[in-house]
Amino acid sequence: MEARSETRGSYHILTYGCQMNVRDSEILAGIVEGMGYIMTPHLDEADLIIFNTCSVRHSAENKVYGKLGEVARLKRKNPDMIIAVGGCMAQLENVRKRLKKQQVDIVFGTQNLDELPQLIAEHQQSGRNLVKIYEEGDREIADNLPSSRNKGVSAFVNIMYGCNNFCSYCIVPYTRGRERSRQPDHIMAEIRDLLRQGYKEVTLLGQNVNSYGKGLEAGVDFADLLSMVSRIDGIERIRFTTSHPRDMSDKLIDTIAQEPKVCEHIHVAMQAGSNRILQLMNRGYTREHYLERTQRIREKIPGVAISTDIIVGFPGESEEDFQDTLDMVRKVRFDSAFTFMYSVRSGTKAASLDHHLPLEVRRQRLLTLNELQYSIALEINQSLVGSTQEVLVEGWSKTDKGKLSSRTRTNRIVIFSGPETLIGKIINVKIKEATTFSLFGEIMQVD
Ligand code: SAH
Ligand code: SF4
Ligand code: F3S
């Protein structure tokens, strides 16, 4: 009864963008639950709506503007509703100008999550619109924030924040600040706690995990961290994302090969296959380097899956440059790829380059790339039909009602029929069928 009387109302969080935001939304949920808010799945019932936004492409921002319009209509019916906008869009001045006109009550930066309670209280008292962005360099990592994690068997764990790479197309270094690594003992303590709560798998998160540890006194690099996490009692699987090809060291490849808990899946963004474009992108490697690294990964880690990110239609990308990207896709044979049309981000270096390509050219190149990549993914998946795969059962499938969804060590989704009691377990399944994005299997007879 007592707890109920402290209820402030209900909240709803809308999350856009990458795993960093998914993780930040868990923290935001923890923070507002600590204030007495209760989660509602229904937007129109919420007293507090938090947008955790992404700026990586124009389309990501547009989704938010569209939804803000819808929420503004709800606010007309319920004027006490509070609308807060955080995440990467909040960091950008041109976006903040536009948000001012959209009935947004609170804007808070990517390094100001912990200040949300004060902002809400202040807004409730004064009725004023508030903006809180940390702009003087970077704040110390706030490591002990509350968090209400998504339920499941797998959890995200930040190991570093920010990015120093300034790839010429990318807004992330401007929205997330400079690279900062968390202390290894804080990471280890968080993972131990997650295992106590029943999680089986962790995904270590950073924009460039390969440079983990720089600037720390601990003298621990990413390969060392992987070995340390592998030693934690009870951990079943370790994943990480994302790796930068420039910093993919032999030591790291050997560690992934040798540590049985570390899954055989590496996400290493290629972005483009032409050396001229890679240079304009400020990526710091050549196609030859990328090929050499991925070949070494395949040699050292049998059965490894390599996934990637690719951008088509970067300013000045010629037909020949684009053919170089297709050529690399054929050579590396990615298990999966996230493919994007270049999207101009104001304030980045690439925005001021000449020869931006028309939408139609970018769209056509994306279609051509996807067609090639999907055919390769399908071939690889079909080659697995008949094999036995070790999977971690994650829960009920969202697409195949009544079936379970699981993941192989190589990050492939396997759908199969089985009892609920298997959720959270690692079992063997036999693969019966394959499509571009999933596998379908049967439980192996357990005797
Ligand atoms: N730090 C990660 C990438 C984070 S952003 C890494 O470097 O691996 C995720 C992906 O979005 C990038 O890898 C890139 O492929 C894509 N991306 C970033 N900026 C973009 C832009 N301006 N237009 C199109 N795609 C972009
Ligand atoms: Fe963006 Fe490059 Fe940093 Fe990745 S490494 S977040 S693409 S600047
Ligand atoms: Fe988007 Fe920010 Fe992630 S721009 S991709 S939410 S770091």
In contact, 202 and 238? CB cutoff 8 Å? yes
In contact, 398 and 410? CB cutoff 8 Å? no
Tell whether 293 is covered by a domain: yes
pLDDT at 71: 95
393 and 317 belong to one structural domain:
no
CA of 91 to the centre of ligand 2 (A): 16
237 and 370 belong to one structural domain:
yes
Provide the 10 A C-beta neighbour count for residue 33: 16
Domain boundary, last residue among 329, 364, 382: 382
pLDDT (tens digit, 9 = 90+) per residue, 272-308? 999 999 999 999 999 999 999 999 999 999 999 999 9
Judged against a pLDDT cut of 80, whether residue 319 lies above it is answered with yes
Domain boundary, last residue among 77, 100, 132: 132
Tell whether 141 is covered by a domain: no
Question: In whole angstroms, what is the distance from residue 91 CA to residue 107 CA?
Answer: 9
Q: Which atom of ligand 2 is nearest to the CA of 163?
A: 3
Residue 344's domain spans which residues? 154-382
Cα 261–chain centre separation:
21
Q: Which atom of ligand 1 is nearest to the CA of 345?
A: 22
pLDDT (tens digit, 9 = 90+) per residue, 142-199? 788 889 998 899 999 999 999 999 999 999 999 999 999 999 999 999 999 999 999 9
Tell whether 144 is covered by a domain: no
| All residues at 6 or more sequence positions from 235 whose CB lies less than 8 Å from its CB, including other chains | 191, 195, 200, 201, 202, 229, 261
The residue behind tokens 């049985």 is 260
Q: Which of 110, 164, 175, 208 to mutate to test the pocket of ligand 2 (most atoms within 8 A of CB)?
A: 208
315 and 241 belong to one structural domain:
yes
Question: In whole angstroms, what is the distance from residue 228 CA to residue 221 CA?
Answer: 11
112 and 61 belong to one structural domain:
yes
pLDDT at 376: 98
Total domains, the chain: 3
CATH number at residue 110: 3.40.50.12160
Atom 24 (ligand 1) nearest CA: 342
Ligand located closest to 21 CA: 3
Q: Which atom of ligand 1 is nearest to the CA of 309?
A: 15
281 and 344 belong to one structural domain:
yes
| All residues at 6 or more sequence positions from 403 whose CB lies less than 8 Å from its CB, including other chains | 396, 397, 415, 416, 417
pLDDT (tens digit, 9 = 90+) per residue, 300-317? 999 999 999 999 999 999
pLDDT (tens digit, 9 = 90+) per residue, 89-100? 999 999 999 888
371 and 414 belong to one structural domain:
no
pLDDT at 4: 46
339 and 438 belong to one structural domain:
no
pLDDT band at 446 (very low <50, low <70, confident <90, very high): low
Q: What are phi and psi of 2, to 5 degrees?
A: -55, -50
What does the mean pLDDT of the chain come to?
94
pLDDT band at 6 (very low <50, low <70, confident <90, very high): low
Judged against a pLDDT cut of 80, whether residue 131 lies above it is answered with yes
Q: Which residues pair with 259 in a beta bridge?
A: none
CA of 343 to the centre of ligand 1 (A): 10
In contact, 187 and 157? CB cutoff 8 Å? yes
Tell whether 127 is covered by a domain: yes
202 and 343 belong to one structural domain:
yes
pLDDT at 8: 85
pLDDT at 144: 80
Atom 3 (ligand 1) nearest CA: 207
Q: Which of 91, 168, 170 to mutate to test the pocket of ligand 2 (most atoms within 8 A of CB)?
A: 170
Tell whether 414 is covered by a domain: yes
377 and 429 belong to one structural domain:
no
254 and 349 belong to one structural domain:
yes
Tell whether 89 is covered by a domain: yes
Which of 13-27, 121-135, 358-372 is predicted least confidently? Answer: 121-135
The residue behind tokens 């290629």 is 270
In contact, 235 and 197? CB cutoff 8 Å? no
Atom 7 (ligand 3) nearest CA: 172
Nearest to 423 by CA among 406, 443, 447: 406
pLDDT at 5: 44
Buried b (16+ CB within 10 A) or exposed e, 184-218: beebbebbeebbeeebbbbbbbbbbbbbbbeeeee
Domain boundary, last residue among 132, 165, 192: 132
CA of 358 to the centre of ligand 1 (A): 20
196 and 319 belong to one structural domain:
yes
Instruction: For residue 242, say if its preceding peptide bond is cis, omega within 30 degrees of 0.
Output: yes
pLDDT at 445: 67
CA of 170 to the centre of ligand 1 (A): 6
Does the predicted model carry a pTM greater than 0.75? Answer: yes
pLDDT (tens digit, 9 = 90+) per residue, 220-232? 999 999 999 999 9
Around ligand 3, the residues with Cβ closer than 6 Å are 17-18, 20-21, 54-56, 87-88, 171-172, 175-176
Tell whether 140 is covered by a domain: no
The residue behind tokens 């492409």 is 57
180 and 284 belong to one structural domain:
yes
CATH number at residue 405: 2.40.50.140
> Which residue has better confidence, 145 or 141?
145
CATH number at residue 319: 3.80.30.20
In contact, 322 and 365? CB cutoff 8 Å? yes
CA of 396 to the centre of ligand 2 (A): 34
pLDDT (tens digit, 9 = 90+) per residue, 380-434? 999 999 999 999 999 999 999 999 999 999 999 999 999 999 999 999 999 999 9
Question: In whole angstroms, what is the distance from residue 118 CA to residue 111 CA?
Answer: 15
The one-letter amino acid code at 397 reads S
